[in-house]
Structure 1
């Protein structure tokens, strides 16, 4: 999502440019398209204000709000972004494979150009629309990832395991159990404050973000070398084990934080929260892997009989960067205090409905662009900088 990921040609002669829309593999696009709904749900509730907030959810709402909080804290928060980190690495592996026998320096420069445009767009996105931008973090990660593409498989798996342990260690400040309300960088009272506050936060997010994405990125590189998501018939056992174990552990690991955020349990003391937050986040990485595996299995069944809904959601995945940025436009208009200022009006439930409607709007838009053979404008920008090609159709 954070960058438009190249799909696989499914075999045949490798090429050095981007993949034609008609030749892309279904699974990565379908996964990113569907998970952008989760991204919308995860991002939007952090704008809400309340007398008490936990994990980005106002407390003491209706029973429907409590149920919605439990569902999103269990299945959405901290689960979608790791999946996109995996797909980012998967797409990078595909890009590298398509360069054929190009010298390593040539491949690194290509990836660095891609990373640079993500950083620039990400900084502008963070300053003007959404301070929680992840495009800049993906771009920064790609500067290191350009070297990682040459690593042996075992080192990718070792670094993935190390950073999975890192994000699971007891620590303060996890978003999943934070009691901090949205600050001035999220809800600025005026344009001047917005720029000043976000100038301090956006670079930090871009620089620190890669630490959280290194594990899924490394696994994505490993899986991309084998085209695991594109060949579910060959890797069926691996995908089923990953789906069942990953999602199952993610649900179990989310429950302490989810039950507290929904009001079903009293909020624990700081010592317990230092464990509960990382537990939620660490198992969320496994959940992201599980979601990716589940969608790959589903895509294997749908590949030969794609209906309009499947094609429309896959079209969102093909334009994930554009659709992600369009979501931020909606959050900016809806929640910014000097615009509609709905952060104190909307509830968890109504915000979730807004998020779902926003995602559905991008599905309809992306499907219409697909019928016209058009790429998203930001996908065209990334391709132009990366490959030096301006075509919106290749």
Structure 2
């Protein structure tokens, strides 16, 4: 089955796997982001056995696995949006041609013209959406320099044409180049740090937090750091390869009907998580107090994509395929509500983290001293709070406010373009009369 339109069929049936995966993926994002707040606010405490155990779990299964998973779902969503726009746009352009509404069949040249115009519209839509996401990310970066919305927006804006026109060979080539660049850069940095003697995680974290002496210095430093990190993430991480991989999934039914591919998805899920965990062992040794080897960071980064594939496969299996009545219950229903409001949930996480780690200590004078395990508990509580928020919005029939804002901004910023003239249809030749045929025969 080819997903030519969207997650939803003409009868309004919704495929749950993408939404449920996004909703549960945001828990991984919260777990991956909270170390930033702990380090930034100097809230860490001496580690104990529970902290060490959690560090191993987070390193092998969450860190550098959550964001590639997010990127795959982002690429899947972009490709689905493109497919929908091209299909509906082609029909619209064909219906505008003279004589088509009266029953005339369009020619192959007209169909090619209509599809080309629809593809251009889809490319412009993705690029416009990406540019707005960069702006949203810049605003978010004033609070959280680890923002990923702007990074994904940058990737969408740069590669909008390749996504719309399905330049798969070019995409594969750039993914290979980016992977090599990521490996080379991280290996070089690891070698340099090892040569300088900065091989422990504790030494690396000293002085890495944002300056919070004043509000202005925090905001300026955060936005500056975000801008540089966004470009570096696009060029030297697995975000772009993950995005193109997710876009390729939109041409399959692996996420639309995971119940049809249980064996394959189970193998990918267990195998991907296993390979990802194996690739993170060296990084885990460093994170729990060992020394940093030059090869640990690049291996952890590249194998993170395998781990992300494993998580996506298992989450799709958990979500299952569409039901006859389209209803879901329990955690699936809650996760789906979060997944359809993923931007709102993601930004709400930052607001809650800032309240806990910045606002409350300032107002109460209480200093936080958290270990890794307690910090993870706060991340879980924050995710549960966003689940409650999205459940309330779902019950009221409301979309996420930030999704609505982005959709409105993208729609209102659309500009008309001059369309090329459609191909001219030659008038049908008049049939020869019997007299004319007779004369020619003579």
Check the 8 A contact 1:335/1:342 in 2, yes or no. Answer: no
Match of 2:7 in 1: 9
Contact 2:29 2:66 in 1 (8 A): yes
Contact 1:159 1:218 in 2 (8 A): no
1:342 Cα offset (Å): 7.3
Q: Identify the residue that residue 340 of structure 2 maps to in structure 1.
A: 318
- Match for residue 136 of structure 1 among 150, 166, 170: 150
Q: Give 1:159 shift.
A: 3.4
Residue 334 (structure 1) aligned with residue 356 (structure 2): yes
Deviation at 1:49, TM superposition (A): 4.2
> What does 1:71-110 correspond to in 2, within 5 Å?
71-99=57-85, 100=87, 101=90, 102-110=117-125
Deviations 1:73-128 (A, max 9, x none): 1111111100010111000000001111253321122112211221111001101x
Q: How far did 1:245 drift?
A: 2.1
Once the two structures are TM-superposed, the CA of residue 177 in structure 1 deviates from its matched residue by 7.4
Report how far residue 244 of structure 1 moved: 2.3
CA deviation after TM superposition for structure 1 residue 351, in Å: 0.9
What's the TM-score, normalizing by structure 1?
0.83
- Is 1:376 equivalent to 2:362 in the alignment? no
1:293 pairs with one of 313, 316, 321: 313
Tell me which residue corresponds to 1:214.
240
Measured after TM superposition, the shift of residue 168 of structure 1 is 3.5
Matched, 1:171 2:171: no
- Rate the CA distance shift 1:104–1:297 in 2: closer, same or farther, 3 A: same
State the distance in 1 between where 2:39 and 2:412 align.
45
Cα distance change of structure 1 residues 321 and 355 upon mapping to structure 2, 3 Å threshold: same
- Separation of aligned partners in 1, 2:388 and 2:44: 31
The residue aligned with 1:225 is: 251
Aligned partners of 1:215 and 1:353: how far apart in 2?
A: 31
Structure-2 residue corresponding to 1:61: 47
Separation in 2 of the partners of 1:126 and 1:343? 24
Would the alpha carbon gap of residues 156 and 28 (structure 1) be closer, same or farther in structure 2, given more than 3 Å must change?
same
Relative to structure 1, the CA distance from residue 29 to residue 182 in structure 2 (aligned partners, 3 Å threshold; closer, same or farther) is farther
Structure 1 alignment gaps of length 5 or more: 1-6, 14-21, 390-394
Q: Which SS does the other structure have where 1:226 is aligned?
A: coil
Equivalent pair of 2:273/2:306 in contact (CA under 8 Å) = yes
Q: Give the structure 2 partner of residue 38 of structure 1.
A: 28
User: C-alpha separation between the residues in 1 aligned to 2:381 and 2:355?
Assistant: 15
Structure with greater Cα Rg: 2
In the comparison of the two structures, how many residue pairs are matched?
Answer: 362
| Matched position secondary structure for 1:96 | helix
Of the candidates 266, 275, 283, which is equivalent to residue 303 of structure 2?
A: 283
Matched with 1:29 is 19
Deviates more, 1:361-370 or 1:191-200: 191-200
CA–CA distance in structure 2, aligned partners of residues 119 and 288 of structure 1: 24
In the alignment, the residues of structure 2 paired with residue 132 and residue 156 of structure 1 have an alpha-carbon distance, to the nearest angstrom, of 26
What secondary structure, in the 3-state scheme, does the structure 2 residue paired with 1:163 have? helix
- On the 8 A contact 1:112/1:143 being kept in 2, the answer is yes
Deviation at 1:308, TM superposition (A): 2.6
**1:70 aligned counterpart, secondary structure:** helix
Structure 2: state its 5+ residue gaps.
91-116, 194-198, 414-442
The 10-residue stretch of structure 1 (102-111 or 284-293) with the greater mean CA deviation from structure 2: 102-111
- Residue 196 of structure 1 deviates from its aligned partner by 2.7
Deviation track 1:45-83 (CA, whole Å, cap 9, x = no partner) reads 233249xx9xxx968511111111111111111111000
